[in-house]
Structure 1
Amino acid sequence: MVNQKLFSRSVLYGLRYFGLLVVLFFLSRLIFLITFGNWVELKEYKVGVLKAFLTGARFDVSAICYVFLPVVLLWLAAIWIPKKKEVSFLKYYRCFIDIYLFIALIVLLSLQIIDYFYYQFFQSHIDILFFGIFKDDTVAVLNSVWTDYPIFKIITCYLLAIFIFVWLNKKSEISNRMGNTRTLKMNFWLLLLVFPLFFIGMRGSIGVFTLKRDHTNISSNSFVNSLCYNAVYALKYANSELKNNSIEPDYNLELTSNGYASIGDLSDKYDNFIVESYDDELLMKTKYDSFIDENPPNVVFVLMESMSNHYFELNSKDLNVLGDLADELPNLYYFKNGLSAFNGTIYTLENLLVNTPKNIISQSAYYDVSFSSSVARPFKQKGYDTSFLTGANTSWRNVDKFIMHQGFDRVEGKPFIEEKYPDASSFAWGVHDEYLFDYIRERLEDNKEKPQFIFALTISNHTPFEVPNRENLYPIKMNEEIRGMIRVDEKMAYDNFYAHQYAANHLARFIRDIRESEFGENTIVVATGDHNIRQVFEYSDVNAFLKKSVPILFYIPEKYKPSYFDENLYVSHKDIFPTIFNLSLSNQKYVYSGDDMFKKSEGYRFALNNYDFIADSLGVVTMEGAEPVYYKWENGSRGKLKLGSVKEKHAIFMMEKMKSFKTLQTTQLYLDIENSRGSKKMVFR
């Protein structure tokens, strides 16, 4: 017999907690809007914001419905419970509800808090970078969290949520008063609607398609679109992105899944208007130069933690974020329109080392593959001594084992530097930059018989921004305009400004010391940021390029200087090592990854970030959201962007160039993996 009363009582009791979770998600979205929204910009998108909240409610209800699935199954069971067992069922039902939904509340609140601070740091909801946190130096991460984030405010949020839950629990009794028989039947039939509504809620839609990322594409403004997300769906999409980015080395599948009939078809589509051509094995060769043959230069490449083009632009006498580097810039070639490979250190590091669109190789089953695209390989083939040096622990992300398979003679980090300099200051992530630069100079001094290639990674400009001897740095003072631009508290902003200045200072002093020493005539120094720091300033759509922009700097001795230089070229990390090879190596083959920045050419030049953001002299295409978006430069030059049409001919050209370049690099990577595992040799045609 149908137990109408028990079913009705169970549903009404549970729906109160459903409402509580709806309020939690709504308040999270409202706080997100108030904290991160640019109110001047959003005045034009009032309708979009309203649509975002309505769409966001669909995502929220969908997430809550999935959480409530076990509860709904108990509602269904309540219909068939005999009356004699009502008391026992209600006892266990309430116990389950109280414990299960309390845990659910804490988990959902935790996800919302994590997503909030993740956005504050990366200006993005939880994405693929999030999973790297669990593979990072756990102690260092926890140290950064404790230092950078308002732990006591976060604890207060938890206490408030717990208080409301307990209060609601005490106020909520499973009512036994259901009215007369007629009212009871009416309530029963009305409450039965919970099942179809619950099914619709899970789907998030009554149409053919279930709720998906495309539904967030409601506005031309990316922030408005970001309001649609909640932490649960952000994590879901990040996990999908992680799976899509997993390394599954199927050479032919990579071609066909991207719409290319053959490698020849791919090559034909990519080669259109490019600066330089490659052979059938994706190889290029530097020109023969008798002087370089007889006088091979040392090459020091420095990947600077969070060095930002934005900070280069902001630098002034008062806001001194460059320190001595500002005075050293006239001695350098500075490419001002540069993009980082990715937006996280390990991703950028791997990309620079082996030209990989796929990450993270060092923690995959393929960490021991010796990739033909390794930037150390051309130097080794020319008799260079090769080193990877860093102030960090080299076991971080298993990079030591990965790098040792890429043609490096040594991989040395924190323990080696501390052994050399026992008084070296350090922090959560390792030894500070000044000691790393001292160590590089020592390495150059200790081995003058062979030319050296040194790949260095700095770490000081990293949260929690604890630089040594801050009193010895140049003073920094924010004016009211800068204060109005920052999105963090002043202390954190100042800490970051000083950390950036500290790192820039020691880079400048290293370059100056090299320039003024015996190595000044035969040592090339190249430096760039691994990614822009996105924690301090808000970047709107019109500043999308600046959000991802990093400086690319070259110190080149007189005898090796190029004949052509255009500081306004659109370049990115993909172009750095092709440029270095052409500066330092004679008649040497290397795997194509980009263009020589010092080569005068009418060919098509583009900058690339994350393999979903491409920029050139006409504009930007970004595929970060549910749909691609095309922006044009205002006034025909880099600066601010304005919305264009993705259907324009040039936008379509840019998207094809980005897709074909990524596929080209991925197939080469997969070819190396297949060959290393004993697969049949496949020639690039």
Structure 2
Amino acid sequence: MMNYFAAKLIEILKHTLVIVSIFFIVRLLFAVCFVPFTTFEAYAKSLPFAAFNALRFDLQVAAYVAILPFLVVLVCLFVRNRSVAGRLSRFISTYYVVLEIVLLILALVDIGFYSNFHSHINITFFDFFNENPLSLLQTIWEEYHVILYLSAVGLASFGIYILAQKIAKGTLSCENKQESLALNRKTIVLIVLFLVAEVVCLRGSVWRFPLQVEDSFVSSSKQINDLVPNAAYMLKKAVKEKKNAFVFRSIESLLSEYKFKSLQEAINVYTNSDTIRLQGDTLAALRTALFRTVPDTMTHKQPNVLIIYEESWSNYLMNLDSPRCDMLLGMRRHLKEDLLFRNFQSVGNGTIASIENIVSCVPFPRFFSSPYRFHCLPSSVALPFNESGYTTEFISGMDVAWENCAEALKHQQFTKVTGKFTLKEQHPEYEYNSIGVFDHHLFRSIQERLDQQTAKLQMMLCMTTTNHPPFEFPKDVQLKAVPDDYYNNVCFAEKNHEVLQKYITGFRYANKTLGDFLDKFKQSKAAENTIVIISGDHNVRSIIDYTQVNKRWERSVPLYIYLPPYLRKESHRSMTNRWGSHDDILATLAPFAFRNTKYMCLGNNLLKEGVTDSTYYSANVEQLLACPAYQAQAQRIVNARNLLRIMFFQQTFAKY
């Protein structure tokens, strides 16, 4: 006779199968409604991976649902009372019926949401509760076959109830016999095995990383990728995004923080004039102050533009280069030949912060996780390039589902968003680690794009990944070993030599792959008409001891600029001591690339002639650097800019 505890665990497993089946059936409905058969044919190789990851998402939800029933089984294990066991068994059956019906309804709601917004449930789902829900319910009643849908849900719910009753019958005989509550060795083993399986399913993985939203990306096809996650997971993701959503502030609190008496005063300080007046339309005045207009007066040929954000490309680690320890490797030649700015900082201090900053200029963190990512902002970096005749592409070896990059970048009007799976489809031989396709493969694909004859100029924004924990490098990478005593430098906060070695190897690999790419690039025809800008997305964060190192290096990343021959001036070399940050990249590119457009200008042109070097500054969110005599004035300008920018986006978002 089956033990009571074994019977209850089998009941939980059967309900797990029911939950997975519900998601499977709804997924089939989704495929019929939204995925053309030709898409399945084109991406047939991705379907097994899609099915596997879909099962991982479904099992994770089922595992969360199983937590309470499993705890109930454990209670019975200690109580061992037939009456208690009977009541708890009925609770488990009712619990599963309710949860399975809720999951079914949620999955169907998700399909309805997708049919309207071409996206699974996301943070905008909560707008339903903010924008007169009764009116929206009336619209749904009038425009959809509500009675038909409710009847179908009712029929399916009744089927779930009948199925739950049949599953529950399997344990009835055990509940009525006291000896079935006896604990034996087989029961203990079964409970332990179940607990292990529960933990694995909750984590969604037996590998290094748990199940993440990036695992919903299995191909370059949005429709195939959208088959993978389920409604419950996407609702959990939306709730998390809502919890972390940024909060708008009053003009009074902002004026107090940034030390201005009025918004007009801030406009005058930032623009260094009093010609822009607040006359009723505050948003128009803010736009005039923050945006620059570029006329169609360009006399030179427009170049292609490549912006590379190199993962954790540290400025300070360049200082540790020596004859005994080659830190620069292939980049040494190019740093000498071209323009290198060392008085430079990132604006944000994380990868997504730096990407969001250059893409949108939004001052609030986690813009890509906010509901506003579904709107094209007037500050999008893609707009002035598109209007100036470029195609715009974000390209990275990473899974572009990370931090909603693919979704947000498409809404910001990037022509293409290329990530790990697109690169693998184009080059099946590319190798990758747990973070993404190796950088040297990424640069090969970039060079291929630059070598193509295209009808339009190209702007590419690139994000590398290999110089990132857990520091998994290509097997065939060859770097000369660093002397052991190198790791004893007092500048290092990290004293574990094995950990340090990984960080240093990552930095050296980055310089090697960048150098190899630039070697090939300069030998190609693309070098005649392409600007290349390289900077770190942020400094290396954890291994440097800033009690031993000047604080100016704490947020510092280098800026490298390659200009094609026809755009170079001898005077440019004398400008590389100017202070700057990521905010200055677009302002520096604008005179070379933009025509007949507008763009949000938050920085200065680092290559502008006739400007005193001492009037430049470097603004990171944590610290402002400038010449000592200009520090106070620079702080005043940055305060004005930050105030105006926050007000601009608060008023812009209020319109959405």
Between the two proteins, the alignment pairs up a number of residues equal to 408
Q: 1:343 to 1:539 in 2, by over 3 A?
A: same
Q: Find the residue that maps to 2:373 and give its secondary structure.
A: coil
Letter of the aligned partner of 2:563 in structure 1?
I
2:392 matched residue in structure 1: 386
Partner of residue 609 from structure 1, selected from 620, 625, 639:
620
| Separation in 2, partners of 1:243, 1:663 | 24
Q: How does 1:47-66 map to 2 (within 5 A)?
A: none
| Separation in 1, partners of 2:596, 2:530 | 19
Q: How does 1:223-238 map to 2 (within 5 A)?
A: none
Q: How does 1:38-437 map to 2 (within 5 A)?
A: 143=208, 247-249=246-248, 252=251, 255-256=254-255, 258=257, 259-272=259-272, 280-286=288-294, 289-292=297-300, 295-437=301-443
Q: How does 1:516-595 map to 2 (within 5 A)?
A: 516-540=523-547, 543-562=550-569, 564-565=571-572, 566-595=575-604
| Separation in 2, partners of 1:141, 1:549 | 37
| Separation in 1, partners of 2:586, 2:205 | 31
Q: Find the residue that maps to 1:456 and give its secondary structure.
A: strand
| Separation in 1, partners of 2:207, 2:262 | 48
Q: 1:480 to 1:501 in 2, by over 3 A?
A: closer
Q: Is the 8 A contact 1:255 1:261 kept in 2?
A: no
Q: 1:397 to 1:343 in 2, by over 3 A?
A: same
Q: Is the 8 A contact 1:323 1:474 kept in 2?
A: no
Q: Is the 8 A contact 2:490 2:548 kept in 1?
A: no
Letter of the aligned partner of 1:504 in structure 2?
N
Letter of the aligned partner of 1:605 in structure 2?
Y
1:154 matched residue in structure 2: none
Q: Is the 8 A contact 1:320 1:475 kept in 2?
A: no
Q: CA deviation at 1:321?
A: 2.2
Q: CA deviation at 1:141?
A: 13
Q: 1:287 to 1:470 in 2, by over 3 A?
A: farther
Q: CA deviation at 1:660?
A: 1.8
2:451 matched residue in structure 1: 445
Q: 1:539 to 1:287 in 2, by over 3 A?
A: farther
Q: 1:367 to 1:340 in 2, by over 3 A?
A: same
Q: 1:470 to 1:497 in 2, by over 3 A?
A: farther
Letter of the aligned partner of 1:672 in structure 2?
T
Structure 1 residue 500 and structure 2 residue 510: aligned? no
1:668 matched residue in structure 2: 648
Q: Find the residue that maps to 1:248 and give its secondary structure.
A: coil
2:521 matched residue in structure 1: 514
Q: CA RMSD in A?
A: 3.1
2:479 matched residue in structure 1: 473
Deviation digits for residues 101-157 of structure 1, max 9, x if unmatched? xxxxxxxxxxxxxxxxxxxxxxxxxxxxxxxxxxxxx99998489xxxxxxxxxxxx
Q: CA deviation at 1:673?
A: 1.8
TM-score, structure 2 as length reference: 0.58
Q: 1:515 to 1:659 in 2, by over 3 A?
A: same
Letter of the aligned partner of 2:406 in structure 1?
D
Percent sequence identity is: 26
- List runs of 5+ in structure 1 lacking aligned partners: 1-137, 146-241, 620-649, 678-685
Q: Find the residue that maps to 2:308 and give its secondary structure.
A: strand
| Separation in 2, partners of 1:252, 1:480 | 52
Q: 1:652 to 1:406 in 2, by over 3 A?
A: same
Q: CA deviation at 1:373?
A: 1.4
Q: Is the 8 A contact 2:397 2:423 kept in 1?
A: yes
Deviation digits for residues 188-243 of structure 1, max 9, x if unmatched? xxxxxxxxxxxxxxxxxxxxxxxxxxxxxxxxxxxxxxxxxxxxxxxxxxxxxx99
2:144 matched residue in structure 1: none
| Separation in 2, partners of 1:545, 1:350 | 24
Q: Is the 8 A contact 2:286 2:644 kept in 1?
A: no
Looking at secondary structure, tell me which structure has more helix per residue: 2
| Separation in 2, partners of 1:410, 1:461 | 24
Q: Find the residue that maps to 1:404 and give its secondary structure.
A: helix
Q: Is the 8 A contact 1:246 1:358 kept in 2?
A: no
| Separation in 2, partners of 1:140, 1:655 | 48
Q: 1:542 to 1:318 in 2, by over 3 A?
A: closer
Q: CA deviation at 1:428?
A: 1.5
Letter of the aligned partner of 1:365 in structure 2?
P
Q: Is the 8 A contact 2:304 2:531 kept in 1?
A: yes
- List runs of 5+ in structure 2 lacking aligned partners: 1-202, 211-240, 275-284
Q: Is the 8 A contact 2:387 2:596 kept in 1?
A: no
Letter of the aligned partner of 1:331 in structure 2?
E
Q: Is the 8 A contact 2:396 2:442 kept in 1?
A: yes
| Separation in 2, partners of 1:279, 1:307 | 33
Q: 1:139 to 1:429 in 2, by over 3 A?
A: farther
Q: CA deviation at 1:512?
A: 2.3
Deviation digits for residues 63-102 of structure 1, max 9, x if unmatched? xxxxxxxxxxxxxxxxxxxxxxxxxxxxxxxxxxxxxxxx
| Separation in 2, partners of 1:416, 1:432 | 14
| Separation in 2, partners of 1:457, 1:140 | 26
Q: CA deviation at 1:480?
A: 5.2
Q: 1:433 to 1:354 in 2, by over 3 A?
A: same
Q: Find the residue that maps to 2:538 and give its secondary structure.
A: coil
| Separation in 1, partners of 2:413, 2:529 | 22
Deviation digits for residues 628-685 of structure 1, max 9, x if unmatched? xxxxxxxxxxxxxxxxxxxxxx66544433322211222222233234x1xxxxxxxx
| Separation in 2, partners of 1:387, 1:528 | 18
2:167 matched residue in structure 1: none
Q: CA deviation at 1:562?
A: 4.3
| Separation in 2, partners of 1:491, 1:499 | 13
| Separation in 2, partners of 1:309, 1:139 | 38
Deviation digits for residues 150-174 of structure 1, max 9, x if unmatched? xxxxxxxxxxxxxxxxxxxxxxxxx
Q: Is the 8 A contact 1:548 1:609 kept in 2?
A: yes
Q: 1:141 to 1:653 in 2, by over 3 A?
A: farther
Structure 1 residue 658 and structure 2 residue 652: aligned? no
Q: 1:422 to 1:568 in 2, by over 3 A?
A: same
TM-score, structure 1 as length reference: 0.55
Q: 1:668 to 1:509 in 2, by over 3 A?
A: farther
